[in-house]
Amino acid sequence: MAAFPLTRAAALDRLDAFLPKAGSAYAARRNLVDAGGDHRNVSRLSAALRRRLIGEDEVVGKVLEQHRFEKGEKFIAEVFWRTYWKGWLEQRPGLWTDWLAEVQALDAALDKAAARRLEAAIAGRTGIDAFDHWARELDETGYLHNWARMQVASIWTFTLGLPWQLGAKWTYDRLIDADPASNTLSWRWVAGLHTAGKAYLASADRIAAMTGGRLHAEGLAQSPRIPEAPAHPPRTPLRQPVAPDPAQPALVLITPEDCSLETVLPALDVRAVVVPRSLARGLADRTALDDAAMRAAAHWGCAVRAPDSLAPADLAALAAAQGCTQIVTGFAPAGPVGTALAALRPALAAQGIALAEHQRAWDRLCWPHCGKGFFNLKARIHDLLPELIGQKAPDQAASAMIMAPAR
């Protein structure tokens, strides 16, 4: 059975082990879904990347140390899909809160027949072999291969006729890499709502081919019925966070949005590390947060505090006791952590404490290119790379490869 790294050390080990396969082998084999559950053709780094136990710059930088740009390009482009979805949602954050509201309303309004179909789907009892296999795999492991996610979302929406929003809730609640942007927007993409009129339709033949004939899918919808939905909301400007003040002492607040802050803010004057339990959505988050807290405390030589909640008065008191007027955390994009911090910010400000967010260069440089289609970002990857991975001073050979690839 596959394993999914949830500590930084495990993620770095996984990356090292996967590197030889990140070039042409990945390009050729990444979509072959191993129905035995051993996902050896893909990196299985998503749970670590999602929480930034390891940075995109680290992953891409290492890939380019081993592979020429054109060989590693397919894998690198996949890493940028995560960036794209985050940047796209960040410019339409209302889609996240709309989805939360729609889930509640749809849940309450399901008729009996739809409720039975939904229950059967989640339990892996639809009678569609491939769907049932993947529903059970998701339940047992918290992971599905990307291609399996596409089939599952398509069958849910077009064959079972269930609302995509409730499918997105199902996977968001179970995926070990659950991510507001990648999950919600991928479901919208499959349903035909991201690129107007373009839906993803699962096919029995392709499922048999990609699973080496192990999985079958009888009775799939032959055409997609794209759900009615309003047009995309207009793009809003990217949020400009208050940046940390390197001259001031700080409390560091660790959230599941950035679990390796010590690697990007090594010289910050940190007096204590705070890891609020209420921000963990489950065991995977707790494991990552514990690992992050331990590393942060060791790096900055300070204590860890683990309050149950984000009560502003408690945080302000803790900051004051340590002589700090700023609390520094990783940038929290649209999602539950972003919502929690948006509420915390004014409450702390009222007590004279600034909540500063460190925005990684990766996001700052890429997100402005994420407002339209993915290819708008993809076309810039090559030119952005030197600056993106230059943050970590890649070796000369890697830089040379990036500067002069055949496109």
Ligand X SMILES: Cc1cc2nc3c(=O)[nH]c(=O)nc-3n(C[C@H](O)[C@H](O)[C@H](O)COP(=O)(O)OP(=O)(O)OC[C@H]3O[C@@H](n4cnc5c(N)ncnc54)[C@H](O)[C@@H]3O)c2cc1C
Residues 6+ apart with CB under 8 A from 33: 145, 147, 148, 210, 211, 215
Told to check if 49 binds ligand X by CB under 6 A, we report: yes
Told to check if 141 binds ligand X by CB under 6 A, we report: no
Binding positions for ligand X, 333-362, rule CB under 6 A: none
Q: Which residue number, 14 or 299, has a Cβ lying nearer to ligand X?
A: 14
- The single residue listed with the structure tokens 């082998």 is 25
Told to check if 159 binds ligand X by CB under 6 A, we report: no
Output the smallest distance, CB 101 to ligand X, in A.
19
- How many whole angstroms separate alpha carbon 259 and alpha carbon 294? 11
Q: Which residue number, 174 or 345, has a Cβ lying nearer to ligand X?
A: 174
Residues 6+ apart with CB under 8 A from 115: none
Output the smallest distance, CB 39 to ligand X, in A.
6
163, two tokens:
């609302």
95, two tokens:
């889609």
Q: Which residue number, 309 or 376, has a Cβ lying nearer to ligand X?
A: 376
Which one of residues 24, 31, 66, 146 is an interface residue with ligand X (CB under 6 A)?
146
- How many whole angstroms separate alpha carbon 99 and alpha carbon 92? 12
Output the smallest distance, CB 84 to ligand X, in A.
7
Told to check if 100 binds ligand X by CB under 6 A, we report: no
Q: Which residue number, 41 or 326, has a Cβ lying nearer to ligand X?
A: 41
Told to check if 95 binds ligand X by CB under 6 A, we report: no
* Alpha helices (H) in 260-335, listed in sequence order: 261-264, 283-300, 312-321
Told to check if 154 binds ligand X by CB under 6 A, we report: no
Told to check if 260 binds ligand X by CB under 6 A, we report: no
Output the smallest distance, CB 350 to ligand X, in A.
35
Q: How many residues bind ligand X (CB under 6 A)?
A: 28
Told to check if 150 binds ligand X by CB under 6 A, we report: yes
- How many whole angstroms separate alpha carbon 62 and alpha carbon 300? 26
Told to check if 45 binds ligand X by CB under 6 A, we report: yes
Which one of residues 90, 102, 137, 179 is an interface residue with ligand X (CB under 6 A)?
179
Residues 6+ apart with CB under 8 A from 334: 89, 90, 93, 95, 96, 180, 181
- How many whole angstroms separate alpha carbon 16 and alpha carbon 221? 41
Output the smallest distance, CB 44 to ligand X, in A.
4
Told to check if 187 binds ligand X by CB under 6 A, we report: yes
Told to check if 149 binds ligand X by CB under 6 A, we report: yes
104, two tokens:
């509640």
Which one of residues 19, 23, 43, 156 is an interface residue with ligand X (CB under 6 A)?
43
The SS3 of residue 305 is strand
Output the smallest distance, CB 324 to ligand X, in A.
33
Told to check if 50 binds ligand X by CB under 6 A, we report: yes
Told to check if 78 binds ligand X by CB under 6 A, we report: yes
* Alpha helices (H) in 155-278, listed in sequence order: 164-174, 180-191, 204-210, 261-264
Question: How far is residue 350 from each of residues 253, 339, 347, measured CA to CA in Å?
Answer: 18, 18, 5
Phi, psi of 354 (to 5 degrees): -90, 135
* Contact residues: ligand X, CB under 6 A: 30, 42-46, 49-50, 78-79, 81-82, 85, 145-146, 149-150, 153, 171, 175, 177-179, 182-183, 186-187, 190
